[in-house]
Structure 1
Amino acid sequence: MGAAMRRIQAGSALSAFGLGFTVPYLYVYVAQVRDLGAGTAGVVLAVFAMAALLVLPFSGRAVDRRGPVPVLLVASLLAALGALGMGVASSVPAAVGSAALLGAGTAVMQPALATMIVWCSTQATRTRSFAMQFFLQNLGLGIGGLIGGQLVDASRPDSFLLLFSIEAAMFLVLAGIVLTVRMPQSPAFQGARPAAGKGGALRVLLGHKAMVQLCVLGFVLFFACYGQFESGLAAYGTEAAGIAPSTLGIALAANTAVIVAAQFLVLKFVERRKRTRVIAAVGLIWTVAWLFAGYAGLGHGSQAMATAAFVSTYALFGLGEAMLSPTVAPLVADLAPESMVGTYNSAFALVKQLALAVGPAVGGPMGASLHGPYIITFVLFSLGITVLAVRLGKRLTPVQNQPSLAARPSKIVARHEPAKETATA
């Protein structure tokens, strides 16, 4: 990695480290520590998600017009203010307002960071750059959550103030690191505007069939995995499989451990194969994961076997995530026109956020009460990932689908132009 990329990765990891301090404890903090009630805690979490949905449609255009650095600086400052505000919030309006700032700021960080990685990488290095970001972010989240768990004390509100202060400091460190990054020259820095023509950038994006298919695929991916981690799958595990709440922490730890251990082991495998085939394989792996979950809750084995099967579900999800991280994000970048990289990254981030909002709303009630239908539904969604990935392959050029085929960047990828619809799989 060059100096710019090293600094971007360091800032990304430190911001994830800060988030790890508070994200697992936000509900407990609002509902119990500040004694604002479970209803208020639910509203705070909803505002956190809704703020992201509101700002992401505009953040991509801002990145393309102003560049990712100033957008990321503003997002970092907003997130830091939100974290500090949450640390001292003792009323409903203060908690809701702080959640809005924190949710908006952290949401905009991701497409801005992704655009910086795109501009500081080449087609040959992009896959590894995104894999490294995913690895470091998960490591940061895990370490932050582990340290935060040792510092937090529900009987002492000042311990939560310490956690939120550390989170705010990490966001400010990210802003400081970003200020030192010397970005390469790009048309976006020279006043370029998306060559959207009549109808604007949205029309260009919606007219790009490969990108639309990738967004649909992305929604199913996030809905069937991330959207179930802390809602439907957790409810199913405790209600159907009799999993102890403490075992949920073990399962999440297994997920993170597999990601950290497998990320670079699977990287060479991923780099030598078509991206859509890798995604299709993830769909099959997650199908097996949901079958393991089905056995845990609906089988007739011992409690120990049910627990092992449930933890294995999270571990298999982690293997799929490790395969996706160097695959999906670089593909979004390779599909984007040079002057619309931020727009494409923000659109995909918006799809992810929608899936994370809808996933718990659908999966939570099903996982708690409709155990058989819940497993069947997500087995079918996982198989749908495989089908959608195979169909997407027919919209991509050979180099977009497998960058290792190119001895040098093709004109299409180098200029980030949407592929023609006559491309072969």
Structure 2
Amino acid sequence: MGAALRRIQLGNALVAFGNGFTVPFLFVYVARVRELGDGTAGAVLAVFAAAALVVLPFTGRVIDRRGPMPVAYAGSAFASLGALGFGLSTAAPSVVASSALMGAGIAVLQPALATMIVSCSTAATRSRAFATQFFLNNLGLGVGGLIGGLLVDERQPSSFTLLFVVEAAMFIVLPMVLATVRLPQGGGVDMRELADDGAVAQPRDGWRVLLRDKPMVLLCVLGFVLFFTCYGQFESGLSAYAVEVTRISTSTLGIALAANTAVIVLAQFVVLRLVERHRRSRVVALVGVIWTVAWLAAGASGLVHGAQAVATALLISTYALFGLGETMLSPTLAPLVADLAPARLVGQYNSAFALVKQMALAVGPAVGGLLAAGGAYGTYIVMLVVCSLGISVLALWLGGRLTPVQDRPYRSVVVAARSARELSEGGGGVREAAEGSRAASVG
């Protein structure tokens, strides 16, 4: 990676580290430590998600008009104020307001950082760049959560205040790191003109152009199903199923979550080497198959009676298989969004995809929680098995709408480089070789 990309990744890792200090303890902090009750704690989490849904539709246009840096600075400021507010709040209104600030700040940071990564990478390096970001996110969250768990004491509110101060400090460090980054002009983003009259898309046309882009719309539908099926269930339906049906303890549930993170941290770059040479659509389709097996394992864990060790192993395997699928998605989805985007609408496309993810993270826990509350666990497992199979179908459908460069960029870059070398060796001249290579890689 270049120096600019390394610094962006460092800032991203520090933010994830700060988030790890507080994310696992938000509900307990509001409901138990500040004694505001489960209802207020639920409202805090709902407002956190709602704030993201409010700001993301407008974030992309600002990024494309002003650049990702100002948006990242603003997001860091809001998130830092929200974290400090959490640590100092003792009443419900201030806690809810802090949740809105932090939710909005973190939400706009995601597409801003993604756009920076796009601008500092090329079609050949983008998959590895986003895989590194995902790896550092999970490593930071895991380490931060581990240290936070050692520092926190439910009987001492000041220990929770310390955690939020650390998180706020990481949001202050992020713009300091980003201030040293000089983003390249053009950023290696592939130009793709979508307007019928051949004019390059303007930022003000963002949503109109995106909604006319059938592959991107299909990718958004696919992304919603993906995030609904996996991340949308971690803190609601799947956790309830594990405790109520599989009958595991909350400490064992923590081990299952740790298994998910461990698979991501240990396997990310091994998996990257295997998937970056294959078609992106088929990689996502394989994720659907893997998650189908994961949900079947979860269902089986609730049917094994009298063999708790087997049931526990099946449930931990579910979380581990989810982690394996996540390592396959990290070098696939975000780079594909970037490759689909016109050069002047990269921020809009990244924000739209972040919005889709946030919607799935809002709908997923609601659906999972309702089914769990009604005890309809059989229906719950069947629904998610169908969703997982739907991922494979949607991915293959999307693959039929992608160009070879979009679906398999690694091979396209290799072929372009080989063609350039052969032209040069055959007397075609350096200039012709460079032009041929550039034309093939841009696609």
TM-score (norm 2): 0.90
Counterpart of 2:241, as a letter, is: Y
Alpha-carbon distance, 1:410 to partner: 6.1
Aligned position for 1:353: 358
**CA separation in 1, counterparts of 2:293 and 2:211?**
33
Aligned position for 1:154: 154
Alpha-carbon distance, 1:197 to partner: 6.9
Aligned position for 2:419: none
Instruction: Give percent identity, aligned residues only.
Output: 66
Aligned position for 2:136: 136
Aligned position for 2:269: 264
Aligned position for 1:391: 397
Alpha-carbon distance, 1:405 to partner: 2.1
Aligned position for 1:326: 331
Tell me the secondary structure at the aligned position of residue 183 of structure 2: coil
Aligned position for 1:380: 386
**CA separation in 1, counterparts of 2:372 and 2:72?**
37
**CA separation in 1, counterparts of 2:338 and 2:59?**
16
* Contact 2:61 2:204 (8 Å CA) reproduced: no
Alpha-carbon distance, 1:95 to partner: 0.4
Q: Of the candidates 242, 247, 256, which is equivalent to residue 247 of structure 2?
A: 242
Q: Of the candidates 343, 346, 349, which is equivalent to residue 341 of structure 1?
A: 346
**CA separation in 1, counterparts of 2:42 and 2:183?**
40
* Contact 1:196 1:203 (8 Å CA) reproduced: no
Counterpart of 1:218, as a letter, is: G
Q: Of the candidates 378, 398, 408, which is equivalent to residue 402 of structure 1?
A: 408
1:289-328, aligned counterparts within 5 Å? 289-300=294-305, 302-328=307-333
* Contact 2:203 2:344 (8 Å CA) reproduced: no
Alpha-carbon distance, 1:243 to partner: 1.2
Q: Deviations over 1:214-266 (max 9, x none)?
A: 00000000000000011000001111111111111000000000001110111
Counterpart of 2:142, as a letter, is: G
Tell me the secondary structure at the aligned position of residue 154 of structure 1: coil
**CA separation in 1, counterparts of 2:439 and 2:407?**
15
**CA separation in 2, counterparts of 1:357 and 1:414?**
37
Tell me the secondary structure at the aligned position of residue 124 of structure 1: coil
**CA separation in 2, counterparts of 1:238 and 1:366?**
14
Aligned position for 2:56: 56
Tell me the secondary structure at the aligned position of residue 121 of structure 2: coil
Q: Of the candidates 250, 260, 264, which is equivalent to residue 255 of structure 1?
A: 260
TM-score (norm 1): 0.94
Deviates more, 1:323-332 or 1:240-249: 240-249
**CA separation in 2, counterparts of 1:367 and 1:39?**
18
Aligned position for 1:170: 170
Q: Deviations over 1:15-62 (max 9, x none)?
A: 000000001101111111111111111111110110000000011111
**CA separation in 1, counterparts of 2:84 and 2:386?**
43
Over 2 Å off, 4+ runs: 194-200, 298-301, 407-415
Q: Deviations over 1:382-410 (max 9, x none)?
A: 00000000000011001100002223476
**CA separation in 2, counterparts of 1:365 and 1:236?**
12
Residues 22 and 198 (structure 1), Cα distance of their counterparts in 2 relative to 1, 3 Å cut: closer
Q: Deviations over 1:290-337 (max 9, x none)?
A: 010011012335011000000000000000000000000000000000
Q: Is the aligned partner of 1:230 residue 2:245?
A: no
Aligned position for 2:86: 86
Q: Is the aligned partner of 1:287 residue 2:292?
A: yes
Aligned position for 2:210: 205
* Contact 1:255 1:316 (8 Å CA) reproduced: yes
**CA separation in 1, counterparts of 2:441 and 2:293?**
35
**CA separation in 2, counterparts of 1:30 and 1:175?**
28
**CA separation in 2, counterparts of 1:183 and 1:361?**
40
Alpha-carbon distance, 1:412 to partner: 8.6
**CA separation in 2, counterparts of 1:239 and 1:249?**
15
The CA RMSD measured in Å over matched residues stands at 1.7
Segments of structure 2 that go 5 or more residues without pairing to the other structure are: 189-198, 417-436
Q: Deviations over 1:136-158 (max 9, x none)?
A: 01000000000000011111111
Aligned position for 2:191: none
Deviates more, 1:295-304 or 1:21-30: 295-304
Segments of structure 1 that go 5 or more residues without pairing to the other structure are: 189-193, 416-425
1:30-49, aligned counterparts within 5 Å? 30-49=30-49
Structure of higher CA gyration radius? 2
* Contact 1:298 1:372 (8 Å CA) reproduced: no
Q: Of the candidates 360, 371, 376, which is equivalent to residue 377 of structure 2?
A: 371
Residues 410 and 311 (structure 1), Cα distance of their counterparts in 2 relative to 1, 3 Å cut: farther
Aligned position for 1:70: 70
Alignment coverage as a number of residue pairs: 410
